[in-house]
Structure 1
Amino acid sequence: MDWSKSKSIFIVVFLILNVFLYSLYLNRHTEAQLVEVLGEKTIEAQLQDDNITYGVLPTNIEKAAYISATVKNFEEENIVIQNAQSIIVENKNKLIVTLKEPVKISNLDQEENYRNFLQFQVYEGASYSLWKVDPENGKVTFFQRLNDRKIYYNINGVLTIFLNDKNEIIGYEQTLLDNIEEYNKEKTLLPPIQVIQALYGKRLLKPDSKITEMKLGYSTLVQLKTQVFVPTWEVRATTQDNIHEEYFVNAVEGKVIDVQLDATRVEAVETEVEDVKEVDEE
């Protein structure tokens, strides 16, 4: 066979194949656009159909790093607390304080009203931020924070204040995360609207509900001696029946996560942490 003719035939066939593939791509692209126009709706339109509303979403948070921390060993410190009747260290990592005189807080729901108490009567009290007020059970819960970002539901970073029947503070239990620092480089975070889409896709957002707040915090990724926390979007919503709900979404991967530990899991994790510490000490 003449090589020149073979070469020409090969080039022609190659060009025909390219034209065919390009036309196939155009057809599929056009079909995809048509499907999107006729069938698929934007997340905003889907939310509108279900009457799910939201206010102004955060726009200034694009990147954040994972963080790491260790569990505070209170036995290593000489702790002196103003107005303390007794100070007990339980299992090295929990501080139990009973107050001499009850402390009156004018409005339990206002975080700024706790500022003086936290500053002067709680060890590293400025590290905590108000999470939940439960006067019926005589408790107020604070989560530890880093740069105004809460660390959600970590058993080693919680301050629980106890109230008497007059809603006065009579004591508290405290755990504390120590040596908090950024872990690796900053990661690009999912924008808030994609977080809402993740929740909507799992049918967690109920029709006629309103998203009232979105904040960035951290949730536990690894819980051993050195703990690692992932940036996490906190989403608060109120249903048509005025029920307040909270959701958490991994801000890097977009996974909806359950950050609340039940009693059994808490006990298991505490045991695991203690076992790791004992091995390290040996």
Structure 2
Amino acid sequence: MNWSKAKTVLIITFAILNVLLYLTIAKINKPQPQLLSRQDLRSIEEVLLQNNIVLKTTIPQETEPMPLVKVTREIFDESFVLENFIKSQKYEKYKENRYTIFKFEDKTIKVDGISFYYFEKSDKFKDMSSSQKEEYVQNFINNYHFKEINVQVEKISQGKEVKIKYFQTYKDYFIDGGWMEGKIDDKSFEFSKSWFGSVVMEKAKKEVINAAYALLKLVEIKTDAKPMVVKEIKLGYYFNWSSATKGEAVPVWRITTQDGNRYYINAYTGNFEEGK
């Protein structure tokens, strides 16, 4: 018998039971949300450390009941490209796997119904400053009506490349799978978008699990001995049907590691949804 593994399982089990017991008693005695004590948090961090999982962020504690949300993807098809970009220009069109590809002048557009990609190569980008490149991205978004309101923006400038990322949000929650990105350097400009054109919150709300439970789930998921550094844990929505045009997005805890991997824990059930 592997006593080291058995010991780890017992520690995890007792840690989870202690947190469950604490929250259950708190909920019975007081109607308002309860926070984990420092000792509870230290116990959780110790279990994670014993499994080579290091926290570089605080554990969120306050949560509210959340509903499912109905989402419908924005459609990017041949009609969209012809009406907004090609118009009366000459162009070449062909299929490549799931994509329909359009080539005209020094530009390329790829669509697959639910995602859009644009590429333009030109010497006009050569002498642009970083601020001019950023302005070019913004103008492209505005001119072709890609602009969205509920977004979180991330700007990255590295060398001659400027990249602006937009992540879809709804009532301050992230909607994973809704994003767009503009990237420009001295030779070319690229733009990509995949978005939910409609996000509707359902009426019924359910309690969600504590972030601590989601973090402890990493112990079960982790399969190697390499250190895992957690830089963020955040509550939001996840739609796990990559090719579907509509459906229900579920509340999840999204755990992001320092190397860029993401793990999604269902906030209703505590089940592992996906890691990437």
TM range (shorter): 0.5 to 0.7
**Aligned letter for 1:120?**
N
> 2:218 and 2:112 mapped to 1: Cα distance?
38
Match of 1:189 in 2: 208
Match of 1:123 in 2: 146
- The answer to whether the aligner puts 1:59 opposite 2:61 as a matched pair is yes
From 164, 175, 178, the equivalent of 1:151 is 175
> 2:80 and 2:158 mapped to 1: Cα distance?
34
**Aligned letter for 2:183?**
F
Q: Contact 2:66 / 2:251 at 8 angstroms: preserved in 1?
A: yes
Judging changes above 3 Å, is the alpha-carbon distance between structure 1 residues 50 and 216 closer, same or farther for their aligned structure 2 residues? Answer: same
Structure 2: runs of 5+ lacking an equivalent? 1-9, 16-42, 86-104
Equivalent residue of 2:209, what SS? coil
Structure 1: runs of 5+ lacking an equivalent? 1-35, 261-282
> 1:114 and 1:219 mapped to 2: Cα distance?
31
Q: Contact 2:71 / 2:248 at 8 angstroms: preserved in 1?
A: yes
> 1:70 and 1:201 mapped to 2: Cα distance?
33
**Aligned letter for 2:148?**
G
Judging changes above 3 Å, is the alpha-carbon distance between structure 1 residues 48 and 114 closer, same or farther for their aligned structure 2 residues? Answer: farther
- The answer to whether the aligner puts 1:68 opposite 2:92 as a matched pair is no
Q: How big is each residue's C-alpha offset from its partner over 1:28-47, in whole Å with a ceiling of 9 and x where there is no partner?
A: xxxxxxxx89x945534423
Match of 2:271 in 1: 255
RCO comparison, higher one (Cα < 8 Å, 6+): 2
**Aligned letter for 2:206?**
K
- The answer to whether the aligner puts 1:162 opposite 2:183 as a matched pair is yes
| Structure 1 segment 130-279 matched on structure 2, within 5 A | 130=153, 142-152=166-176, 154=177, 157-165=178-186, 170-203=189-222, 209-222=228-241, 224-238=244-258, 243-258=259-274, 260=276
Q: How big is each residue's C-alpha offset from its partner over 1:205-247, in whole Å with a ceiling of 9 and x where there is no partner?
A: 9676543211112211456342211111111233xxxx45432
TM-score (norm 2): 0.55
Equivalent residue of 2:239, what SS? strand
Larger radius of gyration, structure 1 or 2? Answer: 1
Q: How far off its partner does 1:190 sit?
A: 0.9
Judging changes above 3 Å, is the alpha-carbon distance between structure 1 residues 181 and 193 closer, same or farther for their aligned structure 2 residues? Answer: same
Equivalent residue of 2:47, what SS? helix
> 1:174 and 1:237 mapped to 2: Cα distance?
24
Identity of aligned residues (%): 17
> 1:124 and 1:134 mapped to 2: Cα distance?
21
> 2:191 and 2:73 mapped to 1: Cα distance?
18
Match of 1:269 in 2: none
